[in-house]
Amino acid sequence: MNNADVPIWEKYTLTIEEASKYFRIGENKLRKLAEENPTAGWIFLNGNRIQIKRKQFEKIIDTLDAI
């Protein structure tokens, strides 16, 4: 099974591109949020690539009225 076979809703982490599609938030907005919150528990860097922890980011989204 390669990475493309794992459904996006089952992945533990998402790239900015995947998260943008999944959460329906623009890529630039997600990059800005990640850059403004470098120590947030919902992101980590894999080299220079930002990874978003899907379930933890979902919890953050649930508490917000607007982004």
pLDDT at 1 over 60: no
Q: Report pLDDT for 67.
A: 82
What are the percentages of helix, strand and coil residues in the chain, rounded to 5? 50, 20, 30
Q: What are the CA-CA distances from residue 52 to residues 6, 22 (Å)?
A: 16, 11
Structural domains of the chain in order of their starting residue, each with its CATH number = 3-63 (3.90.105.50)
- Read off the tokens for 62: 């649930």
pTM score, whole prediction? 0.83
CA 26, 28, 30, 33 dihedral sign is negative
Under 8 Å between Cβ of 21 and 8: yes
d(CA 34, CA 6): 24
Segment 22-53, tens digit of pLDDT: 999 999 999 999 999 989 999 999 999 999 99
